[in-house]
Structure formats: C-alpha cells, structure tokens
Structure 1
Amino acid sequence: MAIRNHSSQQLTDRAYAHIVHLAGDIGPRGSCTQGEYKAARFVATTLHDLGLSDVHTQGFSGAPTAYGRYGLALGVALLSQMLAGLLQSAWSYVAAGVIFALSAWAMYAESDFRPNWTHWLIRSRPSHNVIAYCPARKAPERLVVISAHVDSHRTPFFNSNTTWQRWYSLGFRLIFLSLVIGAGLAILAGFIDLAILKIIFHALGLPIAFSMLAFLHADNTPFSPGAYDNASGVACTLTIAERLIQNPLDNTDVWFAITGCEETGAGGMLALVNTMAESWRQALWVNLDQTGIGQLYIRLEEGMLRRYALQPSALRLAREAAKVSGINLRERTSQAFSDAIIAHQQGLLAISLGASPIEPDLETPRHQLSDVPAAIQLGTLHQTLCYVWSLLSLWDKQEQ
C-alpha cells in the first residue's frame, strides 16, 4: 500500500473510515468472540499494509464474560445463606460466613484483575493482542507504547445513562461491603446465639440477590457495535501509526498494542504488561479509550474497588501537551477502568485519554446499541489526533 502525505482532514476522515469498518462492517466485537477476532485481523492487516515493523499477534487467555464471575461469587454466597437458614446449626452459619468471605475476596480480586476461585468454574478463552513497531528516525533514546482495546461491551440497563452508571458504581461497592459484613455476622451467629445477628445476615440476601440477577441480565444482553467504545480509540491509534510512518519521531521508538478482552477485565493489557513490562519499563504508555465524542479528558484515577491514580509526572506531561496543542484538556476520575489501570498497577508511566460531552444533559452511547458510527464526532477525532501528536513530540524532545 503506497503511503502519501495526508492533510489533517484526510487523517481525520481516515480514522472515521476505520470506525465505520470496525463498528459497522464487522459490528459487535464481544471479548473472545469471532467479532473480536475479525477486528484483530483487520488491525493486523492495516498495520502491515501501512508498513510498520514486526506486526504480530500475541495470543492469551481472557475472560469471556464481564459479569459472570461476579454473579457466580454472589450466587455461591446466597446458596450458603439459604443452607444456613434451613439447617439453623452453628456450623452452618460459620461455614456461610467463610463462604461470604471467599465471595468477597473473589469480587475484590476480580475487580483488581487478580486470579481467584471463580476462574476455576468460568474458564478463560482464547483472545489476541495485535502489536506493531515504528522505529525512531535516529538512534532511539526513548520509548512510547500506544494502546487501545478492540472489543466492545454488552448493553445492560445500568449502562443506559450516566445516572444508572453512577448507581451501578455505588451499588458495586455496597454489595462488596454487604459480603464483608455478612461474613462477620454469620461467623458471629455461629458462636453467639443472637436472633438479631441472623436476621441482619439474612436481610443482606435481598440486595445480593438483586445484584446477582442484574449480573445475569447483563451477561445475556447484546453486544454494542462499539463505535465510541472503542473503535474510536483503535481508529485514532491506526491513524497515528500512519502519520508516524510518514514522519517518525527523531529519538523515540513507538510500539502499538491493540488489545482484546478489555471489557471483561483488561485481559489483553495484563498479558502485554506481564510479557513486556521489564523491557518497556521506561516507556510512556498512552491509552486511547472512548475518544470519539465530546471534549478530551485524562483519567486521574480509576478502578472499581481499589483505586489507582495517574503519576504526577504523567499529569505534568499531559498538561504540557494540552498547552502546546491548544486543546482544553479536562481532568476527571473514572468510576470504572481502562487498560491503563494495569500499567498503573505496575508503577509504569501511563496516561489514559478519553472524551465525553461537556454539556451535562448530553449522554454518550457507551455500552449501548446506539453506539454506532453516526454518533461519532469528527471534531473529537481531530482533537485526539492533534493532542496525541503533541504528546509524542514533547516526549521525543525531553532530556534523558
């Protein structure tokens, strides 16, 4: 494929064309599905045709479900609660308390991307990352890793608007707390025969049961077409790769990583970091997630239960790039997570970039069936491309 110099508008149009193909032609791309695999093949072919070096796939085992393992943990806890109520023996309450504690641990570990017992029952499935490389024009002194996830999410009711998403985030934490409290109450009820302990313990079953049903509902909804989340991030990454092939950075090698299974627990990024963290420890990690609607922002903090913050040096660099590019870059916390959270866990220098409407009455189509290419705003794609280029240029010129 012959590469010509493109204007800024042509690059923006090219990014949008990638979104149309990913979210329109390929369509929904659930983790570990054929849609995700087709999207990964498209990305690999595009990067190869652009002329990038060392284009290859990295196979890994990822979670096929975003909610199933949480639902399993809650279901096992509810079963132990029912048995304790039926048997009414001291040992049955102690056993229920232990199981509640194990379920709380599973919920925490799953939200923190760590192995836990639910993985034995809901097994991982094959998925792929696509990795490629653009060398520096001169002798490399620095390194950048640009990432975006290719999979799309399901469409549960609690993602239908911002209010529901906030309630879900709060409810997730409260259910975890209910499991922890329930564990203590059940164990106490096994040693101290007080009716009030048992009453409160069994009352906790109602919100836990509701949450389990919500998780089951979520795992049986259709997958989103995923134009905004996250064909937009993938498209911007491919377009940046095209520009770098034409104009490589002087002193910086750039790696591109299009990951799978982000929506079900950042599985692709976890596999990438586990493999490359030592080699890329001095790199700047730039993650693009939901960069197609509204005004750009960086995620200052993210995580479902345990929170991980942006490093101060990364924040300074992000702010400096905003000044250079003339873009009004907002700063906000995330109630969920992006792939960058895995880099934060490892102490790597990472910036996670997203976009959303400034107007409070406007919603994004995140995790909805309405997340189609027509919802994408070309101006946001243009902002993303300009900002990331400024960020790369600043990093390239930094003193060692």
Structure 2
Amino acid sequence: MPESDANEHLEYLVNRCGDRRVATPGNRMAAEYIASVLGEAGYDVAFEEFDSPGGVQAAVLAAMLTGWVASRLMCSARRGTRLAGAALAALMAGQLIGENTTLTRPADVFLRMRRGCNVLAASSDEPRVVVVAHYDTVNQGEAFKPSRARFVPAGFVVLMSFPLLAVVLSRPCWRWPGRIFRLTMLVGAASMLHWSLAGGWNPGANDNASSVAVALAAAERIGGDEAADRGVWFLLTDAEEAGLRGMASFRTRHAEDLAGARVLNLESMGSGSLHYIAREGWVLRRRPSRDLVDTAERYCAARGLALQNASGASFETDAAAALAGGFDAITLCRLDGTGFIPRWHYRDRIESIDREILEESADLVAGLVQHLTD
C-alpha cells in the first residue's frame, strides 16, 4: 500500500483549519484540503453543495419556539385560534421527527440557511462500498461535559413528547402545568440560543477530524486506481452536526447509484476501544444488517481486534441517514471505558488523540474496505 500519514491529516484539519462549522472559512479550507489529498491519490473529486442551517441548535430552537406559540394559541377560547395552535404543534412534531429521521423538516422555512459542501471521491459509476466521515464541527456545549453528556440522548427523547404536551396542557384544567411547560420550552429555546452564541467553536479533534484523517489515509493506501476497480467511493460530509444534512443530500442525489452499496461510516476514531453502533437514532432506532455486522466482526477477529457492540447507548450519525434511505450502513467508532465518545463536543483537542491508534485505524479501514470488495 502507498505510504500515508493519518496524523499529518489530523494536524492540518485541527491546527490549520480550526473552526470547521458549516460555511465558515475553516470549513471551506478543510473541504479544499480533503479534495487536494484525494486528488493527489488518484481519485476523481467533486464538491456537492446543499442548503443547511449552521447547526442542529437552530432547528431545535425553531421547534421550541413553534411549540411555545402553539401552546399559547391553544389556550384561546376561539376555535380558529386553537386550530392554528394545533397546526403549529403538528409543525413542531414534523420538525422533531424530521431531525430524527432526516425525511422531513417543515420548520426549515423559518431557518437561515447556509451552503454546506460534501466532498466526494467517486472513481467508479456504481459503488460497492462508500466510506463516510464528516468533517464539520459544532459549538462546544456545557451540556456535553463528561458528567452530563450521557443525559443528552435522553433529552432528545423527552423533546419528542413536547408537541403532544403542547396540546394536552393547553386545556383549562391544566393551567398551571401548562404554564410550567411553556416556561420549560422557553428555557430550552434559551439554552439552544446560548449554545449557538456563547458556546465557542470546538476544535473537533476526535469528533470528527480523527475519522476524516483515517478515511484520507485509507484512501491513499488503497489508491484511486484500485478504488475504481473495486467500486469504492469516499465521501467526506459537511453538516452532520446540523442534522445529518450532508448525508441526507448525498442520499437523495445518488439514490440510483447507491443501489446495493454498503456504507461504512467512521465516527470519532481517535482514541478508545473499537465498537460498532448497534442502534442509530435518538428515538426511532435503526440497525445495520446482521450480514454487514458479521463481516466486520470476522474481519476484525482475524486481525486480533475485538469489535464490540456499542449497545449501551444510542447515537445518531451519518449512518442513520443512510439507513433511513434504505441503504445498508454501519458506523465504526471508538468509545471510552464508560461506553461513550471521548471528548464529545467538549474540549475536543488534538492532545486527546492516540496517534498510534489513528494509524492502526487507517490500516483497519483500508483492509476492511478491500475485504468487503473482494
């Protein structure tokens, strides 16, 4: 295999590009660097743009405010006003379901959109395997401190109940609970606004510069000519942190090309033990096929590696959007001793990366891709 250095890619993405939130200069710099590396490795590279909010905070903020207005309107004695409130509650429900399924996002009309950009290396017409890693970052959030981060998935589950509560608690007999609920929605909206404005940019070394570095090193080790022969695509997505928008756009744009393809998604590959995500999605759970899981487990076992089942927690990665589109997908990630992503959206600096693990991961991914396409 050609020489490559995953750590060199990591350092460029973190130390040179810096802030990689959607539509920032660092984000575009990262996309251009990724394209340059893939081009030099012999791949045909394309930029694919799409619309996206700056982060998932905007969508949740819009849903919260919509629900607050809906609950207020449904407290009215006028039937027409109550119906308008019910319609807004349905809009809130649609947006929250859409954030979990990537299939519908009706409240997007209220959001300021930016231009996201996927980087696609497609050296064959019909891929057999698509290797995916997102290169964007999101603001650092206090909710993601290690002592609090494991409660974040439960927060999304609770949030899904808000549209129904907006309807039920608008009844006169629930006046005080309704007021408390509306106050809760305002507090939630304020927390999203604070996260957006005061969170500060996050270096995103582990999540997800580490996986991009692994994907680029694997692409170099395979090479464009061999990738074309084997039917391997490399997709570096933008706006994963904005509701999986990059993968959703790719899925729609290439639906016909992807028939029968397998998606190998990489998430936070910089430190910890090797896992696959068994349940994708905060609320509506989707799973990789048993055949794909068995193939990955057998390959890792043959190399003396234990591929563990991350069944103790739910995650939502680009694989969730691929699975929602009907494609077979699996996410490989590395988790800490508590079964969680190290440094998830909090002080995610390059010092936390295990450099040897990064190179080992690049070897693993390159070998697994070749095994899947033999």
- Give the count of matched residue pairs: 372
Contact 1:62 1:127 in 2 (8 A): yes
CA distance in 2, matches of 1:45, 1:142: 21
TM-fit CA distance, 1:360: 3.2
Scaled by the length of structure 1, what TM-score is found? 0.85
CA distance in 1, matches of 2:159, 2:20: 29
Contact 1:150 1:231 in 2 (8 A): yes
Contact 2:231 2:373 in 1 (8 A): no
Corresponding position of 2:221: 243
1:179 to 145, 154, 163: 163
Corresponding position of 2:332: 353
Alignment of 1:47-86 (within 5 A): 47-52=38-43, 54-82=44-72
Change (3 A) 1:327 1:276: same
Corresponding position of 2:134: 149
Corresponding position of 1:375: 352
1:336 aligned counterpart, secondary structure: coil
TM-fit CA distance, 1:128: 1.1
1:308 aligned counterpart, secondary structure: coil
Corresponding position of 1:396: 373
Residue type matched to 1:283 in 2?
Answer: A
CA distance in 2, matches of 1:337, 1:69: 16
CA distance in 1, matches of 2:141, 2:184: 18
Residue type matched to 1:104 in 2?
Answer: A
CA distance in 2, matches of 1:362, 1:95: 42
TM-fit CA distance, 1:219: 1.3
2:260 to 282, 289, 293: 282
Residue type matched to 1:263 in 2?
Answer: E
Corresponding position of 1:32: 23
CA distance in 2, matches of 1:198, 1:390: 61
1:196 to 155, 173, 187: 173
CA distance in 2, matches of 1:79, 1:114: 24
TM-fit CA distance, 1:387: 2.5
Change (3 A) 1:158 1:37: same
What RMSD, in angstroms, separates the aligned Cα atoms of the two structures?
A: 2.5
Indicate yes or no: 2:109 matched with 1:125: no
Residue type matched to 1:23 in 2?
Answer: V
Contact 1:355 1:380 in 2 (8 A): no
Deviations 1:2-36 (A, max 9, x none): xx843xxxx4xx10111111011111200222211
Change (3 A) 1:89 1:273: closer
CA distance in 2, matches of 1:283, 1:366: 30
Contact 1:151 1:263 in 2 (8 A): yes
TM-fit CA distance, 1:393: 3.1
TM-fit CA distance, 1:80: 4.1
2:344 to 342, 357, 366: 366
Q: Percent identity?
A: 24
Gaps of 5+ in 1: 190-194
Residue type matched to 2:373 in 1?
Answer: D
Scaled by the length of structure 2, what TM-score is found? 0.91
Contact 1:319 1:329 in 2 (8 A): yes
Residue type matched to 2:195 in 1?
Answer: A
1:326 to 271, 291, 304: 304
TM-fit CA distance, 1:204: 1.7
Gaps of 5+ in 2: none
Greater displacement, 14-23 / 124-133: 124-133
CA distance in 2, matches of 1:316, 1:342: 21
Corresponding position of 1:192: none
Contact 1:286 1:352 in 2 (8 A): yes
CA distance in 2, matches of 1:243, 1:175: 44
2:34 aligned counterpart, secondary structure: helix
